[in-house]
Amino acid sequence: MSVDLIKLELKSEGIQFVSEYRFDKVRRFRFDIALVAQKIAIEYEGIFAKKSRHTTIKGYTNDCDKYNLAIKNGWRVLRYTAKNYGQAVPDLKQILNVVTK
**Residue 52: which pLDDT band, with cuts at 50, 70 and 90?**
low
User: What residue ranges define each of the domains in the chain, with the CATH number in brackets?
Assistant: 2-100 (3.40.960.10)
Please report which confidence band the pLDDT of residue 100 belongs to, taking 50, 70 and 90 as the band edges: low
pTM of the model: 0.87
Q: Give the residue among 41, 23, 25 at the shortest CA–CA distance from 33.
A: 41
CA dist 67 and 46 (Å) reads: 15
Each residue's pLDDT tens digit, 6-51: 999 999 999 999 999 999 989 999 999 999 999 999 999 876 666 6
Give the chain's mean pLDDT. 89
- Rounded to 5°, the CA angle 97-40-77 comes to 115
